[in-house]
Structure 1
Amino acid sequence: MKIRGYRIEIGEIESTLRRCHGVGQAAVVVREDQPAVRQLVGYVVPDTGGTSLDVSAIRDQLAGWLPDYMVPSVVMEVGVLPLTTNGKLDAEALPKPGDVPRADMVVAENDAEQQIMDLFAEVLGIGEVSATDSFFALGGDSITAIQLVNRARSKGVALKANEVFAHPNPRDLARDAKSIDLCESNNEDIEFISVSEKHHIQSDFNKPSDILPLTPLQQGLLFHSLLGQDEERAPYVSQLVLELGGGLDIERIERAYSRLIERHEALRVRFSHRESGEPIQVVLSSDAPVFIAHDESERNDIWSQVREREGVAFDLENSPLIECHVYPIMGGGSFLVLRMHHLILDGWSMPLLLDDLLSLYSGDSRPVSSEVRLRDFYEWLARSGSENSVSTWTGVLGDTVEPTLVAPEAGPDRPHLHVSQSFDLGSALTREVERLARDLSTTVNSVLESSWGDGSRRTNRI
């Protein structure tokens, strides 16, 4: 079972719930009471003492023992766990979140708090929100935070994503929220090219659905991609290789992949340049997916083909920047290979994308699971401003006045050495890293990258 791209062990969560003070029985289910919004919900029955449970304290206990993505969005106390005639848990008979009054409910003190509580419930698809509930404890994440910001703006409330992370409950968030004029807010869309130039681009790309600037990170990726496109191994091209057992229905996986491209705007992007030379990204209204079913081959031959294509450059302006290849293995099974450019996808997106593809293959006919368009993200980024980043990096770089090589001693004639090392942090240290990330409202990856950067600085190696 996966939630938000993470594999969830229901049994482990249930056994951990039963360790909590006062809990006699426990069950955890994945609910989807709102289309495309999945959340973990825990149900607990008091032990023989019969006293009411403090579900808020139980969630706090779980947060200390489990990674954040395995902590149920809601923990509900029930009198008994309903069973089917076969003696198994009757998940359908369990109450929805919000159907049972919460003992820890804190009501809104004013209209601003109530409006944000209603927005939490609407975006997360839950029935009841307390004024002191954390958006992220209820199941929110960075994607739904952007949804919340955009939904709030559509209703005349000015929020920023960083404010949601800094003040994740309605009471604190309402203190920072400002009212905005809806007509004024609708004029804040990204409009960075003239009408005539837009018509020219629309003609070149057959009426694309959107034209957007690049983020600062994308600008750097694009520069290095164009600089190294003639190298033996093109930069920022990666592959995800999966070995699938059993029979794979080629026609069905091709249909699923086509629907995946339809669902996600980022997979239909091309990169071009304005007349001024400034880079742009163009979101196509539709695209012809690159799906290639290869002939059945021996395992070693397939690996040779996969490695051969690994560093092949993409045509950033004229071709899709993601491909799907299926290689049937002689004797049974298949390799499913997704080739992609880092300009449109990062590693954190891959579990979500893969989960979506496999759901489509299994017959999922739901619409796009996220309301966030690419434009939503870029408008949020434009509103966030870059003054703090410029100030921070100006201080870090100090008196540097010209480009500086990361490794000054590495001349053009020296070979590039790639060294990979793997080690196990161990379960105890892993839990500590996860707890630190949760306390800082950031990702485990950010904690590890920061640790690596700080360690490198201290040892003067980089």
Structure 2
Amino acid sequence: MHLPVHMVPSVVVVLGALPLTANGKLDRKALPEPEFGGGRQYVAPADPVEGIIAGVFAEVLGVEQVSVTDGFFELGGNSLLATRVVARINDELDSDVDIRALFEAQSVRGLAERTEQATSAGKRLPLVRREHDGPVPIAPAQRRMWEMNQSDTESAQWIIPLALRLEGELDPIAMGLALRDVIERHEPLRTVYPNTSDGPVQDVIPMSEVDVELGRAVVADHEDVMELVTDFCSRGFDVTTDLPVRAVLFEIGPKDHMLAVAMHHVSADGSSAAPLARDVMLAYHARLQGEKPAWSPLPVRYRDYAVWEHELLGTMADETSLMFSEAEFWRSALADLPAPPELPEDYPRPEFPSMRGDGFIFEVSRDLHGRIHELAHHQGVTPFMVLQAALSLVLARWANSEEFTTTTPAAGRPDRDLGDLVGMFVKHLPMRVKVDSQQTFAALVQDVQSYAVAAFAHVALPLDWITDVVRTTTPEAGQPISRIGFSFQNLDSAEIQLSGLKISGNSVDLGTTHVDLNFIVAERHDDAGKKDGMVVRVIYAVDLFKASTVEKLIKRYVQLLESVVVDPDLVVGDIELD
């Protein structure tokens, strides 16, 4: 019998007898800790394909050395990074492997075998720079952002805030020039989105006409700088006429500043924060030397991507198009999807929601963090899938429903040349989980894996397009697919030393939400890279819920996780929750 790499045990421990619980089930806590003999064994690539894939894993995950027996998710990969890995592998090897292969193979060697069977020379539509004669259509992912902005241009609901603490000697003039350098480099930051007879378009403003400057303000002793940052970032945009970015530098002291940047979601997503912050700092370093930044030109621009994506998708009228096949997948995956179950809210749902949100945070222990990863490893799944299964079970139980659907983000950057761009790429996928009260939690996790692997292989359509496909001709027409969001993130926030400055990121809460509940589970790691606990943060609609209700819900979620990591063979209908 041959096992896939991820199912081959790293070490075998011989026991005289298995420890059992009082119920006669395996007592996992009583099992002895295996001795790995100095850590995991490194196995070098056996051929160039394995070498390239190992290099991509190492580059994207920021690790020094990757063995061909290492799994992408075992090394800390997540569903968002998986899209980037697949794009880079396909670019390097001219292959057509999809994200399903990464989930199923997991290891370098297993993925290499699949990649060698998926050579795609000449099959993929190339993403290249183009000449554009005037404005181009907005990208599919931008449409909902544009429509929401035009429904309320004063709202902070779709603004992405970025706050960087700068400690040390700072040259504000050089920082202002660096900001303009970055706006020149990343076209979405100097793009307006007027409406036309053909719909909204991207109109890139020449840098000579861009009037964005770095504002400056001194913070008095009695003022809270984060309150000022929040107020600054909360001001709305009209993206048809306003550039979608603004920035201000708050002086807290002679050697202490806070750089606040607000971007509208139509021009950026969460993954845009890293290239933006990096390029601001590189440009600042160059300006300190009296020079312009000497970075290489971006291989493609966001406009190139938007036109390419429209061509890639094709039309619904063409049954051979990607758009048609993606729509068919979601029609099948979400067939007979009921309206979102009503959770027991504290207040009646208002006819016109305020979109105001608040947050509640709960700390998860280092021990539970590690056990979740152990369970995922034993099940041959990712930690995301374990967490998703547990959340869906808790929500279904709370809503007295036999299934629950949440939405989760996918990076939506299908080509490696998009990795360094500021732009709106992210897509949100419906995660439908059916709960059979007679099945074990382990079986539920396997169901989640089967669905998730298929879903992440179909990330071409934005959520609003999927909603139109699924809801248009059903009794639930007009209903959203879900009102609950879930994401699994890495919380590490490294400090950067540059040109006499210590730079660190700060979280900014604008007090808004676009869903009823948004669960964000974030991992932490210590300086040695070991798992150091998780943070469960829930942003909730204050129109519907009290903080005490959300706190109780989070505690049930953690209680469930604590039970199933000990015994994943528990029957879900028998799991007791306070």
Say if 1:271 and 1:281, in contact at 8 Å, map to a contact too. yes
User: How far off its partner does 1:235 sit?
Assistant: 2.3
> 2:306 and 2:388 mapped to 1: Cα distance?
23
User: How far off its partner does 1:435 sit?
Assistant: 6.6
Whether 1:412 and 2:351 are equivalent positions in the alignment is yes
* Paired residue type of 1:226: Q
User: How far off its partner does 1:342 sit?
Assistant: 1.8
> 1:425 and 1:348 mapped to 2: Cα distance?
25
Say if 1:260 and 1:357, in contact at 8 Å, map to a contact too. yes
What residue number does 1:350 align with?
273
Superposition RMSD in Å: 5.0
> 1:363 and 1:20 mapped to 2: Cα distance?
48
User: How far off its partner does 1:400 sit?
Assistant: 6.3
Q: For the structure 1 residues 422 and 281, does the alpha-carbon distance in structure 2 shift closer, same or farther, using more than 3 Å as the test?
A: same
> 1:226 and 1:355 mapped to 2: Cα distance?
31
What residue number does 2:202 align with?
281
Q: Note the 1:16-31 alignment, pairs <5 A.
A: 21-22=37-38
Q: For the structure 1 residues 54 and 442, does the alpha-carbon distance in structure 2 shift closer, same or farther, using more than 3 Å as the test?
A: closer
What residue number does 2:139 align with?
214
Out of 120, 126, 136, the position equivalent to 1:178 is 120
* Paired residue type of 1:223: E
Task: Provide Cα deviations, 1:381-406, integer angstroms capped at 9, x if missing partner.
Answer: 836646346543665472769x9999
Between stretches 161-170 and 217-226, larger displacement belongs to 161-170
- 3-state DSSP of counterpart to 2:194: strand
Q: For the structure 1 residues 189 and 441, does the alpha-carbon distance in structure 2 shift closer, same or farther, using more than 3 Å as the test?
A: farther
> 2:376 and 2:263 mapped to 1: Cα distance?
29
Q: For the structure 1 residues 347 and 292, does the alpha-carbon distance in structure 2 shift closer, same or farther, using more than 3 Å as the test?
A: same
What residue number does 1:323 align with?
246
User: How far off its partner does 1:298 sit?
Assistant: 0.6
What residue number does 2:156 align with?
234
Say if 1:164 and 1:173, in contact at 8 Å, map to a contact too. no
> 1:274 and 1:143 mapped to 2: Cα distance?
34
Out of 236, 252, 261, the position equivalent to 2:183 is 261
Q: For the structure 1 residues 171 and 394, does the alpha-carbon distance in structure 2 shift closer, same or farther, using more than 3 Å as the test?
A: closer
Say if 2:215 and 2:249, in contact at 8 Å, map to a contact too. yes
Q: For the structure 1 residues 259 and 460, does the alpha-carbon distance in structure 2 shift closer, same or farther, using more than 3 Å as the test?
A: same
Say if 1:261 and 1:289, in contact at 8 Å, map to a contact too. no
> 1:450 and 1:141 mapped to 2: Cα distance?
19
User: How far off its partner does 1:340 sit?
Assistant: 1.1
What residue number does 2:84 align with?
143
- 3-state DSSP of counterpart to 1:272: coil
User: How far off its partner does 1:286 sit?
Assistant: 4.5
> 1:314 and 1:397 mapped to 2: Cα distance?
38
Q: Note the 1:305-320 alignment, pairs <5 A.
A: 305-320=228-243
> 1:366 and 1:268 mapped to 2: Cα distance?
20
> 2:227 and 2:201 mapped to 1: Cα distance?
36
Aligned residues: 335
> 2:195 and 2:382 mapped to 1: Cα distance?
34
Q: For the structure 1 residues 413 and 259, does the alpha-carbon distance in structure 2 shift closer, same or farther, using more than 3 Å as the test?
A: closer
What residue number does 1:225 align with?
149
Whether 1:387 and 2:315 are equivalent positions in the alignment is no
Say if 2:45 and 2:54, in contact at 8 Å, map to a contact too. no
Say if 1:146 and 1:377, in contact at 8 Å, map to a contact too. no
Q: Note the 1:41-440 alignment, pairs <5 A.
A: 54-56=41-43, 104-107=44-47, 116=49, 120=53, 142-143=83-84, 145-150=86-91, 152-153=93-94, 157-160=95-98, 163=101, 169-180=111-122, 185=125, 199=133, 202=134, 211-215=136-140, 217-230=141-154, 233-277=155-199, 279-283=200-204, 286=207, 288=210, 290-299=212-221, 300=223, 305-330=228-253, 332-363=255-286, 365=293, 367-368=295-296, 371=299, 373-374=301-302, 375-376=304-305, 379=308, 382=312, 385=323, 387-388=325-326, 391-392=329-330, 396=334, 398=336, 409-412=348-351, 418-433=357-372
> 2:301 and 2:388 mapped to 1: Cα distance?
28
Q: For the structure 1 residues 251 and 442, does the alpha-carbon distance in structure 2 shift closer, same or farther, using more than 3 Å as the test?
A: farther
What residue number does 1:456 align with?
395
User: How far off its partner does 1:420 sit?
Assistant: 1.5
Q: For the structure 1 residues 424 and 119, does the alpha-carbon distance in structure 2 shift closer, same or farther, using more than 3 Å as the test?
A: closer
> 2:206 and 2:376 mapped to 1: Cα distance?
38
Say if 2:56 and 2:89, in contact at 8 Å, map to a contact too. yes
> 1:393 and 1:410 mapped to 2: Cα distance?
29
Unaligned runs of 5+ in 1: 1-18, 24-52, 57-103, 108-113, 206-210
Q: For the structure 1 residues 159 and 442, does the alpha-carbon distance in structure 2 shift closer, same or farther, using more than 3 Å as the test?
A: same
Say if 1:120 and 1:135, in contact at 8 Å, map to a contact too. no
What residue number does 1:14 align with?
none
Task: Provide Cα deviations, 1:425-461, integer angstroms capped at 9, x if missing partner.
Answer: 12223345567789988796x8767754553333119
The two structures have a TM-score, normalised by structure 2, of: 0.46
> 1:456 and 1:347 mapped to 2: Cα distance?
26
> 2:301 and 2:159 mapped to 1: Cα distance?
24
Say if 2:129 and 2:301, in contact at 8 Å, map to a contact too. no
Q: For the structure 1 residues 141 and 268, does the alpha-carbon distance in structure 2 shift closer, same or farther, using more than 3 Å as the test?
A: farther
Say if 2:163 and 2:258, in contact at 8 Å, map to a contact too. yes
Task: Provide Cα deviations, 1:39-65, integer angstroms capped at 9, x if missing partner.
Answer: xxxxxxxxxxxxxx9413xxxxxxxxx
Q: For the structure 1 residues 450 and 248, does the alpha-carbon distance in structure 2 shift closer, same or farther, using more than 3 Å as the test?
A: farther
Q: For the structure 1 residues 265 and 432, does the alpha-carbon distance in structure 2 shift closer, same or farther, using more than 3 Å as the test?
A: farther
* Paired residue type of 2:267: I
Say if 1:239 and 1:310, in contact at 8 Å, map to a contact too. yes
* Paired residue type of 1:418: G
User: How far off its partner does 1:423 sit?
Assistant: 0.7
The two structures have a TM-score, normalised by structure 1, of: 0.55
Say if 1:131 and 1:170, in contact at 8 Å, map to a contact too. no
* Paired residue type of 2:139: L
User: How far off its partner does 1:149 sit?
Assistant: 3.0
What residue number does 2:529 align with?
none
> 2:45 and 2:148 mapped to 1: Cα distance?
53
Give the number of the structure with larger relative contact order, counting CA–CA contacts within 8 Å between residues 6 or more apart: 2
* Paired residue type of 2:42: V
